[in-house]
């Protein structure tokens, strides 16, 4: 049978990127998705905004919801100092297998903990299983209707504390209206919209950064 889109993305990385060079992995995926086949990576334009937020927060522990092929995982991990790590959740085993290889090719496996499973099942175990106290940064890029319930679950589990930064992809396209309404109207979050474009297109999209202010 035909290869899957993630398999074709991995092939592009193996053909064009240099082992141990995260930037070449990012460039290879962006080139493939812009010129060969669109895919739902955060992309280069929104990726630069993601980079600036990661650099500004300089997080020790990051949670990513929705690994897909590992493109944003590599973007985040390449900016983390020694000792810092990103825990990324992916419930599709085929995507997880591809992402592991992309992350390995970039040479960043020591900074990444890829967990195969659903966010709703794993978030309640984060403290016990990974010894996480609270996340410094959460990147939301999984099913759009899960952004709000998973944010509330993170709050209930005490994994969001004063200063935790939530960064959400696709708040315009495909859109996450209930999540946006929540973080923009809650007195406990300070929210800012970074206007950009849907990856590899001219359509509007953007990232919403929400800082938790504490209880
Ligand atoms: O739909 C989009 N992203 C979804 C990502 C899903 C990935 O995350 C994984 N995943 C999902 N839910 C969970 C979960 N928990 C929830 C379930 O229990 N726990 C763990 N992993 C989860 C999936 O297995 C995938 O790997 C999107 C669309 C467009 C788009 C825009 C315009 C268009 F025309 C078309 C498409 C642009 C984007 O940037 C987008 O991110
Ligand atoms: Mg996205």
Note residues around ion ligand 2 (Cβ under 5 angstroms): 141, 169-170
Catalytic-labelled residue, pool 44, 90, 169, 208: 169
Determine whether 141 is an active site residue: yes
Burial of 135 (C-beta count, 10 Å sphere; 0-12/13-18/19+)? buried
Gap between the Cα atoms of 40 and 13, Å rounded: 16
Is 64 close to ligand 1, i.e. is its CB under 6 Å away? no
Residue 1 is predicted with a pLDDT of 74
Rg of the Cα atoms in the chain: 16
List all residues 6 or more positions away from 143 whose beta carbon is below 8 Å from its beta carbon.
Answer: 66
- Confirm if 140 and 65 have CB atoms less than 8 A apart: yes
Distance 144 CA to ligand 1 centre (A): 7
Ligand 1 nearest-atom number relative to CA 118 = 19
| Total residue count of the chain as it appears in this document | 215
Number of the ligand 1 atom closest to the C-alpha atom of 43 = 39
For residue 42, give both structure tokens: 């955060």
Q: Torsion over CA of 107, 103, 43 and 34, rounded to 10 degrees?
A: 90
Place of tokens 């319930």: 149
Amino acid 12: pLDDT? 98
Q: Residues 129-153: pLDDT tens digits?
A: 999 999 999 999 999 999 999 999 9
DSSP 8-state class, residue 142: S
What digits encode the pLDDT tens for the residues 37-89? 999 999 999 999 999 999 999 999 999 999 999 999 999 999 999 999 999 99
Instruction: Name the phi and psi angles at 191, rounded to 5.
Output: -110, 145
Q: Is 90 in the pocket of ligand 1 (CB under 6 A)?
A: yes
Q: Which of 174, 197, 203 to mutate to test the pocket of ligand 1 (most atoms within 8 A of CB)?
A: 174
**166 to each of 36, 96, 114, 155, 192, how far by Cα in Å?**
32, 23, 19, 11, 10
CA of 95 to the centre of ligand 1 (A): 11
The predicted model scores a pTM of: 0.99
Mean model confidence pLDDT for the chain: 98
User: Which ipTM value was assigned to this complex?
Assistant: 0.99
Q: Is the CB of 146 under 6 A from ligand 1?
A: yes
Tally helices (H) and strands (E) across the chain. 9, 7
Which residue is listed with tokens 């980079």? Answer: 51
Tokens linked to 214: 């504490």
Q: Is the CB of 119 under 6 A from ligand 1?
A: yes
In this prediction, residue 90 has a pLDDT band, given cuts at 50, 70 and 90, of: very high
Rounded Cα gap, residues 80 and 23, in angstroms: 14
């Amino acid at each position: 049978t035909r290869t899957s889109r993630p398999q074709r993305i991995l092939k592009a990385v193996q053909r064009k990127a240099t082992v141990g060079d995260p930037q070449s992995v990012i460039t290879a995926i962006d080139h493939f998705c812009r010129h060969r086949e669109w895919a739902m990576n955060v992309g280069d334009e929104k990726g630069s905004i993601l980079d600036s937020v990661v650099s500004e927060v300089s997080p020790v522990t990051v949670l990513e919801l929705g690994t897909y092929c590992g493109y944003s995982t590599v973007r985040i991990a390449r900016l983390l100092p020694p000792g810092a790590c990103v825990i990324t959740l992916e419930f599709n085993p085929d995507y997880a297998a591809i992402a592991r290889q992309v992350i390995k090719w970039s040479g960043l496996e020591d900074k990444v903990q890829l967990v195969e499973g659903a966010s709703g099942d794993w978030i309640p175990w984060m403290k016990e299983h990974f010894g996480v106290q609270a996340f410094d940064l959460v990147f939301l890029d999984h099913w759009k209707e899960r952004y709000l319930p998973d944010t509330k679950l993170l709050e209930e589990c005490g994994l969001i504390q004063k200063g935790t930064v939530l960064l959400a992809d696709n708040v315009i396209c495909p859109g996450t209206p209930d999540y946006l309404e929540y973080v923009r109207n809650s007195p406990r979050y300070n929210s800012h919209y970074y206007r950009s474009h849907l990856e590899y297109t001219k359509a509007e999209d953007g990232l919403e950064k929400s800082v938790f202010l504490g209880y």
